[in-house]
Amino acid sequence: MRIARFAVGDEVGFGLVETDTDSGEDHIARLNGHPLLGDIKLTGERAKLTDVRLLSPVLPTKVVCIGKNYADHVEEMKDVTGETTEEPVVFLKPSTAVAGPTDPIFHPTVSERVDFEGELAIVISRPCREVPRERAADVIFGYTVANDVTARDLQKTDKQWTRAKGFDSFCPIGPWITTGLTIEEAQDLAITTTVDGEIRQAGRTSQFIHDIPGMISYVTSFMTLLPGDVLLTGTPAGVGPVRVGQEVSVTVERLGTIANRVVSRD
């Protein structure tokens, strides 16, 4: 299933994204209730996907991010973040960094270089702590697409990543949550990032240094994850800057595309 969060006017809800077999058009079928908090039912209301505004599919309490999870990205960033480590590198983005799949990315005036980082994201299904590797699938609700936007110059000068990763709008997510994929399927998906249509990143989740069960097990060894929390799994090589006026798009195979234009805060 593809589960989206959307707005029509001032009304916000969840819906199933379905493709009409005759026309090929995507529609959204409204759901009654929250898909992470209990039983959901179809209301019978439907609309064309083009007639609604897609929002971030979840509002997480936190976004937990894994850094240095592709060897080629570690190599290209070693002058900023150092060499790879045996254990996963973990950092947080605040919930206020989350943006929708077509929302603008605001370029901070204090940064001279803002980079894109296309990633696979995992949505957590239930409260969990100390999850063993073999139980990782039990706490995954589904998968979505994310952009771990980073003020690269601030990351380098601050020596830690909170400010560089945490600006409002620095975590676009969407366009929906795709359920039903196995961990094995999720660990062999293509990730492509473009800027104004030009390919900048092209990798596969099969290149992970730390696999999905390992990431979930490690993070939950010291932190409780809650329903709707989002785990970003790292970015492949090819990261680079975007300027005001450019549009950055991230596509994950089988999951969809997010496309966000960089704008000035002024």
Domain end, chosen from 37, 55, 73, is at 55
Q: Looking at residue 104, which CATH number applies to its domain?
A: 3.90.850.10
| Domain count for the chain | 2
- Predicted pLDDT of residue 261: 98
Q: What is the pTM of this model?
A: 0.96
**Do 155 and 230 sit in the same domain of this protein?**
yes
The dihedral built from the CA positions of residue 173, 144, 82 and 86, taken in this order, carries a sign that is: positive
Cα distance between residue 1 and residue 228, in whole Å: 16
**Do 258 and 152 sit in the same domain of this protein?**
yes
Q: Looking at residue 34, which CATH number applies to its domain?
A: 2.30.30.370
Residue 105, token pair as written in the block: 């990315």
**Do 51 and 79 sit in the same domain of this protein?**
no
Cα distance between residue 3 and residue 141, in whole Å: 11
Domain end, chosen from 14, 35, 55, is at 55
Cα distance between residue 182 and residue 198, in whole Å: 31
- Report the percentage of the chain scoring pLDDT > 70: 96
**Do 8 and 100 sit in the same domain of this protein?**
no
**Do 96 and 222 sit in the same domain of this protein?**
yes
**Do 73 and 21 sit in the same domain of this protein?**
no
| Residue 134 burial (CB count, 10 A) | 9
**Do 143 and 43 sit in the same domain of this protein?**
no
**Do 17 and 139 sit in the same domain of this protein?**
no
Residue 145: strand pairing partners: 120, 174
Q: b or e along 186-214 (b: 16 or more beta carbons within 10 Å of the residue's beta carbon)?
A: bbebebbbbbeeeebbebbbebbbbbbbb
Residue 156, token pair as written in the block: 């380098």
Cα distance between residue 74 and residue 174, in whole Å: 26
**Do 173 and 153 sit in the same domain of this protein?**
yes
- Predicted pLDDT of residue 84: 66
Q: Which residue stretches of the chain have pLDDT < 50? A: none
- Predicted pLDDT of residue 21: 84
**Do 19 and 89 sit in the same domain of this protein?**
no
* 3-class DSSP state of 75: helix
**Do 50 and 178 sit in the same domain of this protein?**
no
**Do 150 and 46 sit in the same domain of this protein?**
no
Integer angstrom CA distances of residue 44 from 26, 32, 41, 47, 163: 16, 10, 9, 10, 44
- Predicted pLDDT of residue 79: 65
Instruction: Reduce the secondary structure of 203-223 to three states and give it as a string.
Output: EEHHHECCCHHHHHHHHHCCC
Domain end, chosen from 38, 55, 72, is at 55
Structural domain boundaries, residue 129: 63-264
Residues 6 or more apart whose CB falls under 8 angstroms from that of 6 comprise 12, 13, 14, 15, 28, 52, 53, 54, 55
Phi-psi region of 236 (alpha: psi -120 to 50; beta: other; left: phi over 0): beta
